[in-house]
Amino acid sequence: MIRIENIEILYLLTLIPFFFILHFFYIKKKKARLRDFIDKNLIDIIVPDLSYGKQWTKFILINIAYFFIVIAIANPQIGTSVEKTDRKGTDLMICLDISNSMLAQDIKPNRISRAKQSLNHLIDQLKNDRIGIIVFAGSAYVQLPITNDYGAAKTFIDLIDPSMISNQGTAIGQALEKANESFGDKNSDNKSRSIILISDGEDNEEEAIDVAKQIAKDGVVINTIGLGLAEGALIPISSNGQGKIEYKKDINGSYVMTKLNEDILKDIASVGNGVYIRANNSSIGLDNILARINKMEKNEYQAVAYKDYESKFYIFAFIAFILLIIEFLVFEKKNKYINRKFFFGK
């Protein structure tokens, strides 16, 4: 297992492109000054040892060394041993609607952004529980298999965006099926299993209710959260580049309104032995659902974690040191003997 101790140091790598831009203009200005004093045809005669190629070579070597120095300071580490521990917790799958209607701004800043913020807050409150994520629109897929790695879960949540699924729709039934499959063997001892469905409910497939009924028979509790307001909102689709947002229209040129469909979400929660909560701009209701989940009987499972991390910064520091030595040995000007023979001849 590899981790970076000081990951924020890696932002220093973003300076490398600026170094190249500055060096490019430095060389360009240097050439211009030389042409101001010496005729272009006489440069090779008057300054025969001048080599811009070697100046660029030295500069590139310094930048590669800089890259490895930054990596060394960030201190990559490798886990040298594995620790297995027995834990008790619940298994929780999140089904998150990422259809374009979730971009509506009746829930601020918009439905999907607010859901992501709340999910990150939810993860901060988990203790020994396992979590997985299903994203869906016109189709559904597992974005994060069930895990107790909360850092990874937050990373995957931050990456969620409606552009991840091109075909539009709200395939709630398919999402619920994939969530149930993600729990693994339904005959296992893990009985504390919950699904949280977060959607605006714009689904015309009645099969979602039948799927929820079947999942409930497996002992899985399904809770639902409705994102959106009853009066609805327009669906943003693009910006014209001047800060003005354009909204979705139907084939007749009329604006499309997306409204919360509470009925299907209530029905799913009802047959899934869970609760339905309607979100608003102060809370989307995950805290209430988590409180219910925490009252459930806990599953026992074995967690694997790496420990005794060993720092490997010296490998990258050594590489940087070698590169700096090579850079020192590469002369900036042409050399009749050493430089021509060993370092980029002509």
- pLDDT tens digits, one per residue of 333-345: 655 554 555 444 4
User: Is residue 71 located within the same domain as residue 150?
Assistant: no
User: Is residue 26 located within the same domain as residue 155?
Assistant: no
pLDDT at 182 over 90: yes
- In angstroms, the CA 134 to CA 178 distance is 7
User: Is residue 197 located within the same domain as residue 328?
Assistant: no
Q: How confident is the model at residue 98 (pLDDT cuts 50, 70, 90)?
A: very high
**Does residue 262 contact residue 276 with C-beta atoms inside 8 Å?**
yes
- Give residue for tokens 């693994």: 184
pLDDT above 90 coverage of the chain, percent: 43
3-state secondary structure of 246: strand
Handedness of CA 200, 206, 208, 214 (dihedral sign): positive
User: Is residue 152 located within the same domain as residue 54?
Assistant: no
Show the tokens assigned to 112.
């999907």
Backbone angles phi, psi at 233, to 5 degrees: -160, 160
Domain, as residue range, for 202: 83-303
The radius of gyration computed from the CA coordinates of the chain, to the nearest angstrom, equals 29
User: Is residue 138 located within the same domain as residue 71?
Assistant: no
Residue type, 291: A
CATH code of residue 248: 3.40.50.410
Q: What is the mean pLDDT of residues 15-38?
A: 82
User: Is residue 30 located within the same domain as residue 90?
Assistant: no
User: Is residue 94 located within the same domain as residue 125?
Assistant: yes
243-260 confidence digits (pLDDT tens): 678 888 888 888 888 888
Q: Distance between alpha carbon 118 and the CA centroid of its chain, in Å?
A: 16
Q: Read off the DSSP letter of residue 205.
A: -
How much is the pLDDT for 345?
Answer: 46
Neighbours of 331 (CB within 10 A): 16
* pTM confidence score: 0.64
| Distance, first Cα to last Cα, the chain | 46
Crossing angle for the helix pair 262-271 and 172-182, to the nearest 10 degrees? 30
Domains identified in the chain, total number:
2
User: Is residue 94 located within the same domain as residue 163?
Assistant: yes
